[in-house]
A = this chain, B = another copy of it.
Amino acid sequence: MIPQETDLANLYQIALAAAEAFEQWKSQPTLRALTLMAAADALDDAENELVSIAMQETGLTEMRLRGELKRTEVQLRLFADVVRRAQYLDLRIDAADPDFLLGARPDLRRTLVPVGPVVNFSSSNFPFAFSVAGGDTASALAAGCSVIVKAHPGHPVLSSRTAQIVSGALESSGAPPHVLQIIFGQRAGIEMLQHSLVRAGTFTGSIRAGRLLADIAAARPRPIPFYGELGSVNPQFVTRARTHNDAETVWSGYVASVSSSAGQFCTKPGFLFVPKGSIVEQSIRDAAMKIEEHRMLNTKIAQSYRDRRDFVLSQSGVKIIVEGSLRFDERGEGWVTPTFVSTSADALETCGAEMLDECFGPLSIVVEYDHEGQLAALARQLFPGNLTGGIHAAIEESSPALRALVDELSASSGRVVFNDWPTGVAVTSAQQHGGPWPSTTSDAGTSVGTAAIGRFLRGVAYQNMPQHLLPETLRDGNPWDVPRTCSPAGDSKHWGEAEVSELQYEPRQGPK
Q: Which residues of A contact B (CB under 8 A)?
A: 27-31, 33-34, 36-37, 40, 67, 70-71, 74, 76-78, 80-81, 84-87, 90, 92-94, 100-102, 105-106, 108-110, 113, 115, 214-215, 218-219, 222-223, 225, 384-385, 395-396, 398, 402-403, 406-407, 410-411, 413-420, 426-432, 434, 436-438, 441-444, 446, 449, 451, 457-466, 468-472, 479-482, 485, 487, 492, 494-498, 500, 503-508, 510-512
Contact = CB atoms under 8 A, between A and B. Distances in A.
A395 to B, nearest CB: 6
A115 B211 CA distance: 20
A472 B511 CA distance: 11
A485 B413 contact: no
A67 B511 CA distance: 40
A344 to B, nearest CB: 27
Most buried by B among A108, A113, A415, A442: A108
A469 B498 CA distance: 29
As for how many copies of this chain the complex holds, the number is: 2
A110 B431 contact: yes
Given A33-B503, A90-B451, A222-B384, 5 more contacts: A70-B102, A92-B430, A428-B492, A429-B485, A432-B459
25 contacts: A27-B512, A30-B500, A30-B505, A31-B507, A33-B496, A36-B496, A40-B496, A67-B102, A70-B102, A77-B495, A77-B496, A84-B496, A94-B426, A102-B427, A106-B420, A110-B449, A110-B451, A225-B442, A403-B469, A415-B461, A432-B460, A444-B444, A446-B459, A451-B459, A470-B512
Contacts of A31: 507
A223 B160 CA distance: 34
A457 to B, nearest CB: 8
B27 A508 contact: yes
A78 B459 contact: no
A464 B92 contact: no
A379 to B, nearest CB: 14
